[in-house]
Chain A
Amino acid sequence: MIYSAWLSLFRWDGVAPTKVFVGLDNYGNLLTQNDVFWIALRNNAIWLVAALLLPTSIGLGLAVLLNSKFRGSHIFRSVFYFPSVLSLAVVGLIWTWIYHPDLGLLNQALTASGLQSSTRNWLSDPNIALYPVIIAATWNAVGLPMLLFLAGLQTIPEELHEAAKVEGAGPVRRFLYVTFPLLRETTLIVLAITAINALKAYDIIYAMTNGGPANSTQLLSTWMYFLTYNYNQVGLGTAIAVVLFLLTLIFAIPYIRFMTRKT
């Protein structure tokens, strides 16, 4: 890790015996000349916001719904958790078919329901290609927040809900004033873990768009790979890795603090 940070100060192709010390030039280069770096950074930001909103809220909703003990609630929990056990490469491949312009389910369904005008070449349009990938990633990412919220819900004593019910609070108010405040700790863990995982996203981009079209779906993680291993710009690549690491730290420091408290 430290060696990575050190390498980011050199210009090196990964093979030559000599590395040229360039100080912070690699970072300067990234910030001023490397357009794809900015695309990737913006994509990471979009991805992060989506990851903090979508899987977490869907996971919370499902957890609240499936927490009550009705017949089959366990089966439904498994159903919604299931995509999380699939590898992101597999998730990417499956969704690539769904988005296929002619044979894909999405365009076929749109055509069948008379929305022909909304059909798109989903993964080949640089303006939108990132979003279908995010949807696919969300499908995979819902399971973990759901599990964590379910675990959090189990710790809330039933009496509190009963008391609130007696006081005349409806289900919505019970959720807002009883459940949600008591899930504060769980929510913080979920947000931290989701953010850290979101910044790790890599496989699914590689499987679905390979960063394209025209680098429009590059993330810092994939662009780091391209620079380092395809273009042999090891210094630039490691500089991106350092940027990615610093971004992760924003979410990781509170998380690590939390995990090591009460010891």
Chain B
Amino acid sequence: MSQPLSTNSSVAGKSKVAIFYLALILATLIWFTPVITLVLTALKDAGDFAVNGAFSLPKFIRWANFSAAWETGVKNYFWNSVIVTGIKVPIGIALESMAAFALTHMHFKWADRIFTYILIGLIVPVQMTLVPLTLLMNALNLIDTLTGLTILYIGFGVPFGVLVMRGFFRTLPTAIIEAARIDGCSWFRIFYRIALPLALPAVISLCILDGVATWNEFILAQIFLRSDELRTLPLGLVQFSTQFSTQYDQLAAAVLIAVVPVVIVFLFFQRYFVAGMGGAIK
């Protein structure tokens, strides 16, 4: 009696599993439709696109779209984004991890209040700060410079960075730090030699989350950069789309160039995305 029943249920089980996977794969395809469209559009020429639409395989693969987009201005945008992200992330993380360490382990007066104050930076709409910042940057002659934009990015990155690093530093046993303190170790040495190496996974997570966020940032770049040759990628792409609104092939290629670095980072470091976001709500 039990024998046929179990075979029966395992067959039912198997078909259940198959249906489950089929549904998931179908959902994945639908979910990726926009991305597939993007890639297909970038790989075909404009005529093919106009005749056969976005969602058909290209007649022949047209790599020239990429070089054309690159030469029309994406090159500049790309390197601007690389420079800003490359400078912002290391400086930001150095500042944020030191601040987070001080706030969690140095037990000074008002540490909690300072943390709350920093957290407010996470929720204030950026619109609230735009006008005063415009006046400030104007006074400092930093409007329309990558330096000015990088400084703003470092500032705006502090709340999230401190939040993530604090989430990690809180898990460090205070015993280690007190022991080092008793041995006469300076606070900076404790931070640099003990806390930071232990926090390496958190630092990598933050590097990636912060790098992607900086790479993608739009509104500050839009307000504080004026000349075309200084634009970063997201801003440049939107500009590109209004200028060459009908050249979908080149535009899609340009978007793809902007997306590829993020995709690579995501593929190699995806577990750090999870770890980093987890740190932010600890």
Contacts and interface: CB of A to CB of B under 8 A. Distances in A.
Contacts of A244: 125, 127-128
Contact of A259 (B38, B119, B270): B119
Given A228-B131, A245-B125, A95 B34 contact: yes
B274 A151 contact: yes
Nearest to B56: A108
Interface stretch (B59-67, B90-98, B172-180, B234-242): B234-242
Interface stretch (A20-28, A29-37, A198-206): A198-206
B58 to A, nearest CB: 15
A87 B270 CA distance: 17
Interface stretch (A74-82, A120-128, A166-174): A74-82
Nearest to A136: B34
A4 B266 contact: no
Contacts of B126: 200
Interface string B95-110: 0000000000000000
Contact of B281 (A92, A95, A148): A148
B237 to A, nearest CB: 6
Contacts of A109: 55
Nearest to B29: A79
Contact of B238 (A4, A82, A89): A89
A203 B234 contact: yes
Interface residues of A, number: 70
Interface in A200-226: 200, 202-203, 206-207, 220-221, 224-225
A64 interface: no
Interface string B120-131: 100111111111
A56 interface: no
A189 B55 contact: no
Interface string A233-263: 0100110111011001100100110011001
Given A80-B31, A105-B55, A207-B238, A86 B262 contact: yes
A79 B274 contact: no
A129 B37 CA distance: 21
B131 A196 contact: no
A73 to B, nearest CB: 9
Interface stretch (A46-54, A96-104, A175-183): A96-104
Contact of A97 (B54, B123, B274): B54
Nearest to A204: B218
Nearest to B36: A105
A258 to B, nearest CB: 9
B211 to A, nearest CB: 10
Give 9 nearest A-B pairs by CB, closest first: A87-B216, A252-B123, A89-B234, A203-B218, A241-B127, A3-B132, A241-B128, A87-B234, A224-B127
13 contacts: A4-B130, A7-B131, A83-B31, A87-B258, A90-B234, A95-B34, A98-B54, A103-B54, A202-B219, A203-B219, A203-B234, A206-B222, A259-B119
